[in-house]
Amino acid sequence: GWGNQESQYYTKDSRNCFIQDGKLVIRALEQKMGNFNYTSARVRTYGETSWRYGRFDIKAKLPMGGGSWPAIWMMPLESVYGGWPASGEIDIMETSYSIYRNKILGTTHTTNGHGGNSVGGSRIMGETIYNDFHTYSIEWFILTQKATFVKSFYKKGGRYPLPSLCGNQVFHFSL
C-alpha cells in the first residue's frame, strides 16, 4: 500500500486493473509481492488530465474486507506549497471496512487540517455500501477571492474550506 496501513502492493498488472462491461475494475488478488500478501492497482490521472473547480460525480462499488482502504481523491498537480498536506487534498470518498465498517468519509486536508484534525463529514451507508453501486459527489467552487470550498454530499449543506492557497491549484484524480 501507499499509506493507511493497507495490505496490498499496487501493480500495473492487467489482472489488477481492467475494463469489463464498460466499467473500470480494480481488483485485489491474493499474491505475494515483497512484504505484502495481496496485489491491487492504483489509477491516477496525473499527467493525463486535471481540473480546477467543478462538480464531480463518481459511481463506484466498494470492496469489503479488512486491509483495504478504497478512496476517490484529488491531489494537486504540483506541490507548490510543500509536501502533503501543505498543498491540499480533497477526499471525495474514502472508507476502511476494518475501521469504519459502513461509514463513508469526505474530507479536505491542508496544513490547517490533516489526519485527525481534517475538515469534513461522514455518512453511514449501511450494508449496501459494498453490495451496490453508489454515486459519490462533490462541488468545488470559489466563494470569495480568499477562499474556495468543497461541498460534500455526505452532510446536508456541508461546506469544507480549502484555503485559496490550495484551492487555486489544478488537481488530478487518484483511485
Catalytic site positions: 89, 94
The Cα 60–Cα 64 span in angstroms is 13
Written as nine digits, the cell of 136 is 459519490
Backbone dihedral region of 53: left (phi > 0), alpha (psi from -120 to 50 degrees) or beta? left
Q: Cell numbers 462491461 correspond to what residue?
A: 21
The Cα 12–Cα 156 span in angstroms is 38
Written as nine digits, the cell of 2 is 501507499
